[in-house]
Amino acid sequence: MIEIDGAQGEGGGQVLRTSLSLSASLGKPMLIKNIRQGRKKPGLMRQHLACINAMAEVCDARVKGAVIGSRIIEFIPGAIKAGDYHFVIESAGSSTLVFQTVLPALLLTGKPSRLILEGGTHNPMAPSFDFIRYCFLPVLRQMGAEFDVGVERYGFYPAGGGRWTITIMPAANYRKIELDSQTQLLGKRAKCIASRIPSHVLVREKRQLLKRLNWPDESITLETVESPGPGNIISLQMNYQNVTEIFESIGTRGISAEQVADRVVDELHRYQAIGAPVGRYLADQLLLPLSQGAGGSFVTGPLSEHSLTNVDVIRQFLDLDIELMGIEPGRHWRVVVNV
Amino acid sequence: MKTVVISLLGTTLDHRGFNGKRWERWRPTLSLCQHEDLVVDRLELLFQRDFQNIAGQLSQDIKTVSPETEVNHHIISLLDPWDFESVYAELLDFARSYPFDIEHEQYLLHITTGTHVAQICLYLLTEARYLPGRLIQTSPPQRRETVAGHYQIIDLDLSKYDLIASRFSREHQEGTHYLKGGIETRNPAFNRMIEQVEKVAIRSREPILLTGPSGSGKSLLAKRIYQLKKKRGQLPGNLVEVNCATLRGDNAMSALFGHVKGAFTGAATARKGLLAEADNGLLFLDEIGELGLDEQAMLLRAIEDKRFMPLGSDKEAGSRFQLIAGTNRNLFQQVEQGRFREDLLARINLWSYELPSLKQRLEDLEANIDYELEKYSQKANTLIGFNKQARDRYLRFAKSPEAIWNSNFRDLNASITRMATLSDGGRITQETVEEEIRRLRHDWRQSGGRNEASAVELLLDKPVDLFDRLQLAGVIRICQDSQTAAEAGRKLFNVSRLNKASANDSHRVIQFLGKFGLDFKAVKQWHERDGSINQ
């Protein structure tokens, strides 16, 4: 049994989710200790239980210790089953994190699966549905997988209640991918999305974006979406030849529309200043698919704690060669996964 | 184990309109289902029929944020949500009819919603275990926190409330400390007894019987019990203290129960009586064994019915007094001899405590010496203390078998008072101590007949019959007053020697002393060292 120290690296839910994905994909039983040890409320929270339960359902695992507040779980995976799943994530928890947890295993079955996910779609501290759809999934398509994705309802914190579906069509053989250099910018657009909030918010956000970005007016669209609760998000999309990057900012109470727009513009500027093709969030998320596919490489900015933790956890499950090479010291890193 | 929350619908806090804005507002009942570390499996929502709309929307919103939470509606009817009686009754009905399954479910009673009256009733019902669960309290978020805010689970059952518990125990300690007069006593039996006396004193108004030898502190303890109860606001009335040995005849009756004007010759004015004076207070009857049988009967009635008949009156008087009785006699023996009423003894014997003698508590002697010194110092307004050798000498004597502490703490008090009075410049010297020791020995010899050990026994170092002791004491005194054994013999056998051919007086004295392992010289020397025997 593989023993994982849940307190390593970023020491939070990331260690748990990456471990769950790997344990299920590889059929390796594991024991995770010290789960979220240093956090204010240590141990498993509802969103973590949601990931454990979803993963256990997909790979028919036997689980011990999966209760609120638990700091240790034993996860003994069985066979991975492709098929139809319906995951409901309560307390507006992120449905995208659950999706990302179960995806690697389902990509290895060779058969299609259809998922219905309910809960939060645009949460702070988690990749948004738009990020999954426009940034993450296209890279996996390059690897050979196919997806059919649609959204019925958005789910914003705190009401949640979003609903989306995805059909996962794994490839027989995965391709290596290389995202080593920034390529030509093919297009850019921005969306200001809102549900159940005054309409002037979107107008002000667009005005601020225009002021800061100097983009053509038609590249910025306003969208009102269906959702049980109020919510607002700005999503910037940069389409390069080899990758699409997404930058987002979520509107919350007490933050003006202008500030929401400023934050996303700052985020874009940071990415542009670094000049690497893969942004920090995508970098976190590419490590696992690359390790389980045919490998590959990418160049990104300074590696985040999340990325380094992912590398460490992957190395504990898989005997493979992940190289982290600093190029242009302090600015760019090249990550090479040899399988 | 499933988690079930029982909550009243908050018609203000849980209702923040029907538009999207409500999601930005903290709603206590909804917030219960929004916490990352709390899973509510079922919510029992109590509300009045008028608020069906609000309840419906709240339930729908709960379904959205927490699909796994099952919400059950309970219509209650509160005519006046601010009326204690009806709210309590309604909630009690709910509690009685609800199928609690404590084997498989844990219950949390949400006390943040509802009127204050309802919150208090929930608290009371939980404390009384009609609602077998813990309380849960929710509170709104601070700035920049997520809308779920905070929650806190309160278990009334646990002694988790260390602060409150320690406060209780501190008060308890203060109580016992107080009863001991602030003296740090070490005798375990005594400390145990005082601990119980403290509890009984605070919790009960039943009579207390204090037994123990004279001077063991019965009266002092009674006074302290009174003061402790008064401090805790339990006894608004007076402390009335009387020694029953001083009550005789008609006077006893009227002193205790009072009389009306003209009740008997000389009763020129009415008298209230001690029982009436102790109304709502404490009556301490010391030496209760000395009370006459008639008075005993009347007293029993006064204890049981709180009523009694003043002398010469045709109307009963009442008094709610607490009784503490003291005695150094064996009341059971008195009952057998027909001198004490059995029913009265049974009544006052409910809480009976035997105070140990000073000799039974020698480990507390030092603390008591310090206490007496302190007391004297305060009274005299000067600081009094022993010098080191003097203290050691006094303690050695005080703890020796020779020190019989005939009147217990009364003796100690007198002894310390004497030494303190005689001390110069606030220091008690060895000289003063030696003088005091001589005096104590003398006093205890004076009361020898009643003593556990007499001076003769001290000389012999073993107990002897009173017959022998009396005889020996006289013989020794004569010996000590005589130059030789022959001289003593002449005095002692002054009649019989005349009838003898050869009066071997000295031989007869030496033979008599020899029976007790004594010789003339030892008796003489003992005299020189320790003063004379006066039995």
Q: Do B67 and A45 touch (CB under 8 A)?
A: no
CB contact under 8 A, B21 and A230: yes
Percent of chain B with pLDDT over 90: 36
Provide, as residue numbers in chain B, all residues whose Cβ is less than 8 Å from the Cβ of A47.
Answer: 36
CB A115 within 8 A of CB A85: yes
Amino acid at B523: V
Q: Please tell me which of the candidates A46, A88, A230 has its beta carbon nearest to residue B36.
A: A46
In three-state secondary structure terms, B489 is helix
> Which of B23, B61, B66 minimises the CB distance to A90?
B66
B497 and B505 Cβ atoms separated by less than 8 Å: yes
Contact partners, residue B59, CB within 8 Å, separation at least 6: B45, B71, B73
Q: Which of A69, A159, A195 sits opposite B65 (nearest CB)?
A: A159
Task: For residue A306, indicate whether it is catalytic.
Answer: yes
Q: Which of A91, A196, A197 faces B66 most closely, judged by CB atoms? A: A91
Q: How many CB pairs under 8 A join A and B?
A: 66
With a cut of 60, say whether residue B477 has pLDDT above it. Answer: yes
Model confidence at B161, in pLDDT bands (50, 70, 90)?
low
- Classify A199 as helix, strand or coil: coil
- DSSP H or E segment with residue A259: helix A257-274
Q: Return the pLDDT at B531.
A: 40
pLDDT confidence of residue B252: 87
Distance between CA atoms of residues A315 and A307, nearest Å: 12
Closest-CA distance, A256 to chain B, in angstroms, reads 14
Contact A188, A215 (CB under 8 A): yes
A97 touches chain B (CB under 8 A): no
d(CA A154, CA A137): 18
Q: Measure A142 CA to nearest chain B CA, in Å.
A: 36
Q: How far apart are CA B372 and CA B398, in angstroms?
A: 14
**pLDDT, greater one: B162 or A18:** A18
* More confident: B184 or A145: A145
What pLDDT sits at residue A21?
Answer: 97
Residues of A in contact with B108 (CB under 8 A): none
pLDDT at B469 over 80: no
Asked if residue B246 lies in contact with residue B306, where contact means CB atoms within 8 angstroms, the answer is no
Q: What confidence category does residue B163 fall into, taking pLDDT thresholds of 50, 70 and 90? A: low
Q: Are strands A220-224 and A185-195 parallel, antiparallel or unpaired?
A: parallel
Residue B182 vs residue A149, higher pLDDT: A149
Give the distance from residue A158's alpha carbon to the nearest chain B alpha carbon, in angstroms: 7
- Closest residue in B to A255 (Cα) is B144
For residues B131 and B93, give the distance between their C-alpha atoms in angstroms, rounded to a whole number. Answer: 11
Q: DSSP states of B358-421 as a string?
A: GGGGGGGHHHHHHHHHHHHHHHHTS--EE-HHHHHHHHHHHHSTT---TTHHHHHHHHHHHHHH
Helices (H), A107-256: 129-131, 137-143, 200-213
Q: What is the pLDDT of residue A43?
A: 92
What is the model's pLDDT at position B164? 64
Backbone angles phi, psi at A133, to 5 degrees: -70, -45
* Closest residue, chain B, to A195 (C-alpha): B20
Taking contacts as CB-CB distances below 8 angstroms, the residues of chain B near A154 are none
**Minimal CA separation from A204 to chain B, in Å:** 19
Cβ distance of B68 and A90 shorter than 8 Å = yes
A88 touches chain B (CB under 8 A): yes
The mean pLDDT of chain B is 85
Residues of A in contact with B146 (CB under 8 A): 157-158
Name the residue with tokens 């004597």.
Answer: B397
Token look-up 């023993």 returns: A3
Q: Does A169 touch chain B (CB under 8 A)?
A: no
- pLDDT given for residue B532 in this prediction: 42
Whether A197 and chain B come into contact, CB under 8 Å, resolves to yes
Residue type, B200: V
Which distant-in-sequence residues (6+ apart) come within 8 Å of A259 by Cβ?
Answer: none
Closest CA to B35 of A151, A291, A91, A8: A91
Residues from chain A that touch B2, judged by Cβ atoms under 8 A, are none
Contact: B35, A91; criterion CB under 8 Å: yes
Query: Predicted confidence band at B159 (pLDDT cuts at 50, 70, 90)?
Result: very low
What's the one-letter identity of residue B506?
A: S
List residues in chain B touching A: CB distance below 8 A.
19-21, 23-24, 33-39, 61, 64-69, 143-144, 146-148
- Between the CA of residue B15 and those of A230, B52, B61, B186, what are the distances in Å? 17, 11, 11, 63
Give kind and range of the element (H or E) at residue B190: helix B188-203
Work out the percent of chain B whose per-residue pLDDT is above 70: 93
pLDDT for B450 equals 44
What is the reported pLDDT for A170? 96
Q: What is the CA radius of gyration of chain A?
A: 20
Residues facing B322 on adjacent strands:
B282
Helix and strand numbers, DSSP H then E, in chain B: 21, 15
* Chain B residues within 8 A of A41 when measuring between CB atoms: 36-37
Pinpoint the alpha helices (H) of B258-364. 274-277, 293-305, 331-336, 342-348
Does the distance separating the beta carbons of A46 and B39 come in below 8 Å? yes
Q: Is the confidence at residue B207, as pLDDT, over 90?
A: yes
- Tell me the three state secondary structure of residue B206: coil
Q: Which residues of B touch A69 (CB under 8 A)?
A: 37
Mean pLDDT for B459-480 is 77
**Distance of CA B388 to CAs B380, B385, B391, B413, B427, Å?**
22, 9, 5, 20, 10
Residue B489: the pLDDT is 87
Phi then psi for residue B149, to 5 deg, are 70, -140
B34 with A158: Cβ contact below 8 A: yes
Sign of the C-alpha dihedral computed for residues A287, A293, A295 and A300 taken in this order: negative
**Tokens describing residue B252:** 């006893």
Residue in the structure block whose two tokens are 């344990």: A23
Highest mean predicted confidence (pLDDT) among A235-249, B142-156, B400-414? A235-249
Instruction: Check B20 against A230: CB less than 8 A apart.
Output: yes
CB B375 within 8 A of CB B368: no
Contact between B143 and B136 under an 8 Å Cβ cutoff? The reply is no
Does A69 sit within 8 Å of B66, measured CB to CB? no
Residue of A nearest to B1 (CA): A67
Residues of A in contact with B66 (CB under 8 A): 90-91
- Cα→Cα distances A170→A82, A141, A167, Å: 10, 10, 10
Task: Give this complex's ipTM.
Answer: 0.77
Q: Is A258 exposed, middle or buried (0-12, 13-18, 19+ CB in 10 A)?
A: middle
What proportions of chain B, in percent to the nearest 5, are helix, strand and coil? 50, 15, 35
Measured CA distances, B124 to B92, B108, B137, B156 (Å): 10, 14, 15, 10
pLDDT of residue B528: 40
Q: Which of A48, A86, A269, A306 is catalytic?
A: A306
Edge-to-edge strands, sheet with A177-179 = A177-179, A296-300, A332-338, A321-327
For testing contact with chain B, the best of A45, A46, A199 (most B CBs within 10 A): A46
| Cα B374 from Cα B381, distance rounded (Å) | 10
3-class secondary structure, A222: strand
Closest-CA distance, B205 to chain A, in angstroms, reads 50
Q: Which amino acid is at B45?
A: L
Chain A residues lying within 8 Å of B144, measured CB to CB: 254
Among chain B residues, the shortest Cα distance to A120 is held by B65
Cβ pair A88, A48 in contact under 8 A: no
With CB atoms and an 8 Å threshold, state whether B36 touches A88. no
As a whole number of angstroms, the distance between CA B121 and CA B139 comes to 20
A40 touches B: beta carbon within 8 Å: no
Specify the pLDDT at position A281: 92
Which is more confident, A304 or B454?
A: A304
More confident residue, B462 or B383: B383
State mean pLDDT over B50-78: 92
Residue B528 DSSP one-character state: H
pLDDT score, position A166: 97
What is the spatial distance between Cα B343 and Cα B364, in angstroms, rounded to a whole number? 36
Q: Measured between CA atoms, how close is B38 to chain A, in angstroms?
A: 7
Model confidence pLDDT, tens digit, residues B256-309? 999 888 777 777 788 888 999 999 999 999 999 989 998 999 999 999 988 998
Q: What is the pLDDT, as a whole number, of residue B526?
A: 67
Per-residue pLDDT at B527 exceeds 60: no
Cβ contacts of B326 within 8 Å, gap of 6 or more: B209, B210, B211, B218, B219, B222, B284, B285, B286, B287, B288
To the nearest whole angstrom, how far is the Cα of B144 from the nearest Cα of chain A?
Answer: 8
Provide mean pLDDT across the span B401-420. 89
Q: Is the pLDDT of residue B534 over 70?
A: no
Encoded amino acid at B442, one letter: H
Chain A contact probe: residue of B36, B150, B151 with most A CBs at under 10 A: B36
Q: What is the pLDDT of residue B529?
A: 41
Structure tokens at B305: 């019915």
Residue of A69, A90, A197 lying closest to B37 (CB–CB):
A69
Q: What is the pLDDT along chain A (339 residues), one digit of tens a residue?
A: 999 999 988 888 999 999 999 999 999 999 999 999 888 889 999 999 999 999 999 999 999 999 999 999 999 999 999 999 999 988 778 999 999 999 999 999 999 999 999 999 998 889 999 999 999 999 999 999 999 999 999 999 888 889 999 999 999 999 999 999 989 999 999 999 999 999 899 999 999 999 999 899 999 999 999 898 899 999 999 999 999 999 999 998 889 999 999 999 999 999 999 999 999 999 999 999 999 999 999 999 988 888 999 999 999 999 889 999 888 777 899 999 998
Higher pLDDT, B498 or B308: B308
DSSP label at A135?
I
Q: Return the closest-CA partner of residue B436 out of B450, B457, B422.
A: B422
**CB-CB under 8 Å, A157 with B20:** no
Contact A159 B34 (CB under 8 A): no
Both tokens assigned to A279: 């942004």
Least confident of A118-127, B68-77, B518-527: B518-527
* pLDDT on residue B455: 62
- pLDDT of B447 above 90: no
What is the total residue count of chain A?
A: 339
**Nearest of A214, A280, A212, A201 to residue A247 by alpha carbon:** A280
Looking at residues B5-18, what average pLDDT do you find? 91
Q: Give the distance, in angstroms, between the CA of residue A124 and the centroid of all CA atoms in the same chain.
A: 12
A46 shares contact with chain B (CB less than 8 Å): yes
What CA–CA distance (Å, rounded) separates B377 from B384?
6
The pLDDT, as a whole number, for residue B228 is 86
B interface test, pick of A36, A91, A118, A252 with most B CB neighbours within 10 Å:
A91
Cβ under 8 Å to B: A residues 48-77:
68-69
Q: How far apart are CA B21 and CA A330, in angstroms?
A: 45
